[in-house]
Amino acid sequence: MDRKVALVTNATGYAGPPAVAALQDAHYRVLAHDNAFGSETARIGFLVDHPGAELIVASTPQGAFEAAWSVAGRIDAVISNDHFPAIHKPTTEVSLDEMRETLEALVVQPFALVRAAIPHLEAQGGGNIVMVTSCRTHLPMHGGAIPDAARAAANALLRSFAIELAPRNIAVNAVAPNFLYSEAYYPKAVFIDSETGRDYVKSEVPAGRLGRPDEIGDLIRYLATTESRFLTGAIVDFSGGWPAAKTRPKS
């Protein structure tokens, strides 16, 4: 029997590397897309860490899916691994372009990817879509209107996709991290190597540490490979118990 196939987008950052590794461990044929793969140096570096992955070079989410489909002839799982630098500024200091760029990366592009995938997944009899979003909206932060709005929109998008695609045997679920180690959001030098950073994490996260990439990889692998398409519309927090209730001093 031919190996099942997965497409992982934005594969060099956030949850991309652990998703690729976990799906390879599950014996999937993994096609990895990232805009950085336009650089030969980036391609070589990624393949050193993930031998056997097949790299997709495309400029748009639609192009990535179509290119992956033309290579493999089927896609059993799509991992929409979406990330963008979180802009934290007072609303009066942010630009509309910053809002537009964030929404483009975290809402418009995953929408475009799923829209491109739907007819192909339906034609082959179904499939699994896993979106990597965020649970940061459980506790909005001062100055975080832009990333909070974008992540809330992505989670709402997932719920709508799940309702629409369930009759087509396409499951859509999300992993929603916070306090996941990644150089994009919680860099090692600040939150692991620094005592101050470690103390901050311990004060916020009941688990007392950042989530490991291999742990989120395990969760993505489960949602991507499960044959239970009755499981759809789930947004699974991956946050070590954050946010925990705290006793706050009265103002």
- Give me the tens of pLDDT residue by residue for the chain, a chain 251 residues long: 589 999 999 999 999 999 999 999 999 999 999 999 999 999 999 999 999 999 999 999 999 999 999 999 999 999 999 999 999 999 999 999 999 999 999 999 999 999 999 999 999 999 999 999 999 999 998 999 999 999 999 999 999 999 999 999 999 999 999 999 999 899 999 999 999 999 999 999 999 999 999 999 999 999 999 999 999 999 999 999 999 866 444 44
The answer, as to whether pTM is greater than 0.75, is yes
Helix (H) / strand (E) containing 29: strand 29-33
DSSP, res 4: P
172's enclosing H/E stretch is strand 170-177
**Local structure of 131: helix, strand or coil:** strand
Quote the CA–CA distance of 25 and 48 in Å, as a whole number: 16
Task: Let me know: does 199 contact 191? Beta carbons within 8 Å.
Answer: no
Give rounded-to-5 percent helix, strand, coil for the chain: 50, 15, 35
Q: What's residue 218's pLDDT? A: 98
Residues in the chain: 251
Cis peptide before 243 (omega within 30 of 0): yes
**pLDDT at residue 100 in the model:** 98
203: tokens are 């004060």
Structural domains present in the chain = 5-238 (3.40.50.720)
Smallest Cα–Cα separation from 45: which of 5, 78, 91, 12? Answer: 12
Token pair listed for 36: 């950085």
Q: What is the pLDDT of residue 200?
A: 96
Q: What are phi and psi of 154, to 5 degrees?
A: -65, -40
Structure tokens at 32: 């990895």
Answer yes or no: are the C-beta atoms of 233 and 239 closer than 8 Å. Answer: no
